[in-house]
Amino acid sequence: MQSDTRIFVFRLRQLLTFLLVLIILIAAAVFILFVIGSSKKDVQTSPASAYTAGVYTSSITLNNQSVDIQVVVDKDHIKSASIVNLDESVAAMYPLLTTSMDAISAQLAAGVSIDDIRYESSSRYTSQVLLSAIAQAIDKAR
């Protein structure tokens, strides 16, 4: 068995050039990862900007009459929710309708998510119907 000893000779200039290019490539890769990572965070941290500012409505039918739920949003959050075109006979049949809507609207204006809205147990079904209509209007705003 014969062992061949190999000797490599590098010029200092070639070695320094190689190391400089290697350092520049590593720095560029880190910079690109940093820029891509920060742009993804910006997209994920601003879900409220998914709204298109405006007034959106959805309808519910109570006692064979249509009641419109109006939601006002801007690009950042929900400003208000209200009942429009409420007939007096429907208001008399469903006395919790306006008080439930006022409580829900106050929470939405305060920045509470629609999934985290709290309501009294006495107005559970009324609040659920209103929240469903508000969710439909918000879906139109997205």
Mean pLDDT of the chain: 87
Distance, CA of 53 to CA of 72 (rounded, Å): 8
- Tell me, yes or no, whether 42 lies in a domain: yes
Pair of tokens at residue 34: 């940093």
**Region 115-124 average pLDDT:** 91
- Tell me, yes or no, whether 90 lies in a domain: yes
Are both 63 and 20 inside the same structural domain?
A: no
- 39 pLDDT tier (thresholds 50, 70, 90): low
Distance, CA of 112 to CA of 51 (rounded, Å): 15
Are both 92 and 124 inside the same structural domain?
A: yes
Containing 7, the helix (H) or strand (E) segment is none
- pLDDT tens-digit series, residues 125-141: 999 999 999 999 999 98
- Provide the residue range defining the domain that includes 104: 50-141
Are both 36 and 74 inside the same structural domain?
A: no
Question: With contact defined as beta carbons under 8 Å apart, do 67 and 81 qualify?
Answer: no
- Tell me, yes or no, whether 5 lies in a domain: no
Are both 59 and 107 inside the same structural domain?
A: yes
Are both 36 and 79 inside the same structural domain?
A: no
